[in-house]
Amino acid sequence: MPRKESRHRRCSFEERAHRSSASHRGCRTRERTGTEVSLLLLGQSESGKSTLQKQFQLLYAPSTFNEERPAWRAIIFINIISAVRDILRVLEDVAKKSPHFAGPSQRSDPLHLARLRLGPLLSMESKLVQAVDAGYHTDNDGSREIFVHQGWQRKHLATPRTETPGGARSLDETHRESLEDETLSETSHLLDVCKDYIRELSGHPDVIRLTESGKIMLKESSSLSVCMFFICLPCLELNNFLMARSSFLSDLDRLALPQWVPTDSDILYARVRTVGVATHHYSISVRNKTRSWRLFDVGGTRGQRKAWLPFFEGTTAVIFLAPVSVFDEFLDEAPETNRMDDCMQLFSDISSSPLLKKTHIVLFLNKSDILRRKLLHGIRITDFINTFAPRENEISVALQFFRDHFSEIFFRTNKVNDRRQLFVHATTIVDIPLMRKLIDRVVTAIFFEHFRSATLI
Ligand SMILES: Nc1nc2c(ncn2[C@@H]2O[C@H](COP(=O)(O)OP(=O)(O)OP(=O)(O)O)[C@@H](O)[C@H]2O)c(=O)[nH]1
Ligand SMILES: [Mg+2]
């Protein structure tokens, strides 16, 4: 997408986010009277906020989740294509540094060949982005990720498609739909044609060598959805164990089938960056009492955190997501900052905010599945957090350590109101049966705390 256009899209999106925060102010009265429960999902980027919101939808609005299911095909295709692009980029970087590098477009060069073979598939990315009316959000550091406008799925429902007031579908609409269908089936066909080349590329000796030597690693949140590579600090150890995970890339036979419809799990693993604040409404019954709930899913990159503030006042509860697997990673937007340090600082800011002094906080120590795999793989927490020593590098010990650490931050910053509570849970948000039970428990706790504390205000 041209830079100008993407800036325009970003701008209008931010305006929308601003409008939504203004309309949010108007809704506070309802919250104060206790008729509506509002829940704020907070945490750094890629901590799992939107995935948690999808779990809410799956649990409390399954019919809309089902209606929107086909729309996720395009996003997953985009995820796959950008993963392939990232692998190619890494391999090109390696090739350029090689003493045998003979120039960018040598016919015999296997990478050049791979680019040629994959070219038609790669060129579908912009068409898919257009089809879902998405854009790219670029951070200060230049990192780029796809974002979509709130409610984008509604425009891409399989049935019923939108109709004009007269009952007939507009020509524009029909044209857009057929373009979208064409784009999807073309991508699916190209994916089928290219799947062996993609496999070959993922198993390229340089990719294996670099992952084994720790020179590149899979961005951990993407290890299960898309394999995004980046050059990381040389001390990191990660081999192709993670790469062999059930990522979209290792499931191409299924995803390239023309009749493939994303499963619940595919949708939970699909990655779209949130820009601004997305509001979701649910009607939730707790012990036969039905209330309207609003969930605010915020964009977590550093540059977006200022936009959270208008949503603090009057919120019933905060669910803070701390991705505990990130102890050995660094922020995309600030590569010198360890992601766990950023997460703890952010948690400290949230729990000490005067606007949240009466708000209970639910802390999810998320991505515990990835934490477990990293520890089993021998990545040592002490190499990144020296206060962890001399503990055992073991999952239950690590979870207890993080639980204690976050609790200490909470109690240190909690002097303003000691009636406020912190509920801590270790989570794997992509685990559907586990989350079903946990969300139900958390919702019940928030609901009852809400009405108990309403009398305290
Ligand atoms: N393996 C694993 N992956 C997870 C878990 N939670 C989230 N993910 C994946 O992590 C990626 C990022 O999750 P998101 O929910 O998009 O993160 P976010 O906090 O909304 O990020 P922003 O919108 O950028 O603020 C997605 O691809 C999810 O599928 C988890 O517990 N385990
Ligand atoms: Mg998000």
C-alpha–C-alpha distance, residues 100 and 94, integer Å: 11
369 labeled binding residue: yes
CB of 332 closer than 6 A to ligand 1?
no
Residue 426 annotated in ligand binding: no
The tens digit of pLDDT for each residue in 382-432 reads 999 999 999 999 999 999 999 999 999 999 887 655 678 899 999 999 999
In the predicted model, what is the mean pLDDT of residues 96-125?
77
Annotated domain spans of the chain? 26-45+276-454, 69-149+161-269
Q: Taking all residues of the chain, what is their mean pLDDT, rounded to a whole number?
A: 80
Any known ligand binding at 269? yes
CB distance 48 to ligand 1 below 6 Å: yes
Q: Which helix (H) or strand (E) holds 279?
A: strand 277-286
User: C-alpha angle with apex 407: 433 to 439, nearest 5 degrees?
Assistant: 20
Residue 267 in contact with ligand 1 by CB distance below 6 A? no
Residue 334 to residue 226: CA distance in whole angstroms? 22
Q: How many CB atoms lie within 10 A of CB 218?
A: 24
Q: What is the pTM of this model?
A: 0.84
Domain 26-45+276-454 classification at class level: alpha beta
Please determine, for residue 322, whether its predicted confidence score (pLDDT) is greater than 80: yes
Ranked by mean pLDDT, which of 73-82, 243-252, 396-405 comes out on top? 396-405
Check if 323 has its Cβ closer than 6 Å to any atom of ligand 1: no
User: Which whole number is the average pLDDT over 157-184?
Assistant: 64
Residue to mutate (ligand 1; options 51, 80, 273; most atoms within 8 A of CB): 51
- Looking at the CA of 300, which ligand is closest? 1
Average pLDDT over residues 303-313: 92
Neighbours of 424 (CB within 10 A): 19
* Residue-wise pLDDT tens digits, 13-58: 444 444 444 455 555 545 545 578 999 999 999 999 999 999 999 9
Token digits for 124?
A: 């579908």
Atom of ligand 1 nearest to the CA of 431: 31
Residue with tokens 């939730």: 284
| Residue 45 Cβ < 6 Å to ligand 1 | yes
Mutate to test the pocket of ligand 1, among 13, 42, 50 (most ligand atoms within 8 A of CB): 50
Whether residue 338 is annotated as binding a ligand: the answer is no
C-alpha of residue 117 to centroid of ligand 2, in Å: 33
Q: Is 338 exposed, middle or buried (0-12, 13-18, 19+ CB in 10 A)?
A: middle
State whether the beta carbon of 269 lies less than 6 angstroms from ligand 1.
Answer: yes
DSSP letters of 119-167? Answer: HHHHTHHHHHHHHTT-EEEE-TT--EEEE--TTGGGGG-SSSPP--TTS
Residue located via tokens 């006042």: 313
Q: Which atom of ligand 1 is nearest to the CA of 54?
A: 15
Alpha carbon of 249 to ligand 1 centroid (Å) = 17
